[in-house]
Amino acid sequence: MSIQWVYPEPFTMELVVDPAAMDGLGHTNNANYIIWCEKCAWQHSEFLGLAVTDYQALDRGVAIRHAEYDYFQPTFAGDPLVIGTWLVHCDGRLRIERHFQIAHRDTGDTILQGRWKLVSVVLSTGRVTKMPVQFSRTYSAAVVKIPTS
C-alpha cells in the first residue's frame, strides 16, 4: 500500500512500535508520537548537514514555540510506521516551520499530522536571536513548496 503524503518528497524515518510504547488503554501513548517526530526532525537536520554538535559549537539552536498534533488513528505494538517531515517555512531570520505526517507502512493510513513553529535561540541563555547564516542557508534551501487552497 502506498502512502499519500500531504506534501511531496518527505524526509522519512521508519520504526516498529515497541510494546513499551503502550499505555494503560492498550494503544501507543501519545507522548511517543512527539518523541518520534523529534527524532525524525533531528535525523532530517543531520541529513541536511546540521547536527547537535553544530548547534552547540555555534551556541545557537531552534526551539519549538508552538506545536500542534492531530491524531487520526491509534497504533499498537508491532505496527510498522513511517514518519515524514518537511520544512515548509524559513524566514532566514528567526522563524522556521516544520510539518510531520506519521503513516502506517502497510495500510498507508495517516495516523498523525503535526506542525511545529520554531524560533532561533541562543542555547546558553534561551533568548530569541537572529539565526546564524549556516541555519538560514541550510534550512531555507530545504523548504518545500506547499499547495495553497
- What is the set of domains in the chain, with CATH numbers? 11-141 (3.10.129.10)
State yes or no: pLDDT of 145 exceeds 90. no
Contact 106, 76 (CB under 8 A): no
Judge contact between 95 and 114, C-beta under 8 A.
Answer: no
CA angle 41, 45, 46 (to 5 degrees): 120
Convert the pLDDT of each residue in 86-134 to its tens digit: 999 999 999 999 999 999 999 999 999 999 999 999 999 999 999 999 9
The position carrying cell 517531515 is 85
| Sequence-separated (6 or more) residues with CB below 8 Å from residue 83 | 12, 13, 14, 15, 36, 37, 40, 100, 101, 102
Distance CA 48, CA 66 (A): 23
Residue with cell 541529513: 47
Residues 6+ apart with CB under 8 A from 124: 59
Q: Is the pLDDT of residue 149 over 80?
A: no
- Cell output for 147: 499547495
Separation between Cα atoms, residue 76 and residue 82, nearest integer Å: 14
Q: Residue 148: its pLDDT value, please?
A: 72
Across all residues in the chain, what is the average pLDDT? 96
Q: Which among 75, 82, 113 has a CA at the least distance from the CA of 3? A: 82
First to last CA, the chain: 27
Average pLDDT over every residue of 26-38: 96
Q: For the whole model, what pTM was predicted? A: 0.94
**pLDDT at residue 147 in the model:** 72
